Amino acid sequence: MHIGLIGLGKMGGNMRTRLRRAGHEVTGFDFNPDIADVHSLEDLVAALPSPKVVWVMVPAGDPTLQTVAQLAGLLGEGDLVIDGGNSKFTNDAINRDLLAQKGTGYLDCGVSGGVWGLDNGYGLMVGGEAAQVDLAMPIFDALRPEGPREEGFVHAGAIGAGHYAKMVHNGIEYGLMQAYAEGYELLAAKVMIADARGCFKAWTRGTVVRSWLLDLLVKGLEEDPGLTQISGYVDDSGEGRWTVEEGINNSVAMPVIAASLFARFVSRQDDSPAMKAVSALRAQFGGHATKAAEAAQAGPTSGSGTVDSPGGHPASEAGPSSGAGSTS
């Protein structure tokens, strides 16, 4: 099968390689001419046979909406656009309706696997009409992990369902990561524990908390014992927020996922105003001692033996060509 791929960043570039390994022809476009196969969207569309299938792998939000709008002017009856980025599910109906004016189909596909997907395959969650899913199935089969299709691919439902499922997936991921992180901090804080990393590694086989995320945490601790080379600043891709919003909209309690999201917000504050207020209140009602600002800033973080880096750490600004592969 011959497919067009827009966005050849970390995930998009790896997906192009995996598809080619499976015998598919891929024409890729990126604003970085060093990695692009063609120089424009017009050239990409012209290179594809009909029905033309174009996979969009650019950052969520305006970059994706603008790319789909451009494709709507280039594609026609029977063609198909697949949005594989981390778009909010509410944007999928907008893209579908715009493309439908030209008779072009649309699928939304949540993609999980990160930079490891090249060799391990990607978990895929797709929303849209069954006939269009069938049209793209050779591509989905090449991208998913080896083994039974249902263990790496799901046609989750109508338009928007794929991105909705990926949103919930990432919300769960937030909670899992936070639980591992808190467990690590507690182990590292206890003097009697001589090998916190070893404890986590011992959990990677046979235990009920074993997982790929646990394996990755052990790998991170092996590469940077004590995690001294990084700060505690943690960004979020937006999907954790959307998951919590949907919990509120559907009256579904999500205390773990909500707490993990808020913990990321706290990580971005060098000195939390809220915790300053708590400290002031404790001093007022109980006469509890407070720490001077300088002392509070100079002290090590609990359990890690490191001092957080001063100043903010803004999120990296990814252009349309950088791929939409951030998972969380």
Catalytic residue (one of 10, 52, 88, 166): 166
Using the CB atoms, write b or e for 154-165: b if 16+ within 10 Å: bbbeebbbbbbb
Helix-strand-coil split of the chain, %, nearest 5: 50, 10, 40
Using the CB atoms, write b or e for 277-307: b if 16+ within 10 Å: eebeeeeeeeeeeeeeeeeeeeeeeebbeee
Catalytic residue (one of 10, 88, 173, 239): 173
Using the CB atoms, write b or e for 130-140: b if 16+ within 10 Å: eebbebbebbb
> What is the distance of C-alpha 207 from the center of its chain?
26
Which two tokens mark 309?
């880096």
Angle at 328 between CA 81 and CA 15, to 5 degrees: 40
Question: CA–CA separation, 243 vs 296, rounded Å?
Answer: 34
Active site residue 173: yes
* Residues pairing with 81 in the sheet: 54, 106
Question: CA–CA separation, 102 vs 174, rounded Å?
Answer: 39
Question: CA–CA separation, 6 vs 16, rounded Å?
Answer: 10
- The single-letter code of the amino acid at 280 is A
* Residues pairing with 38 in the sheet: 29
Which residues does the annotation mark as catalytic? Answer: 166, 173
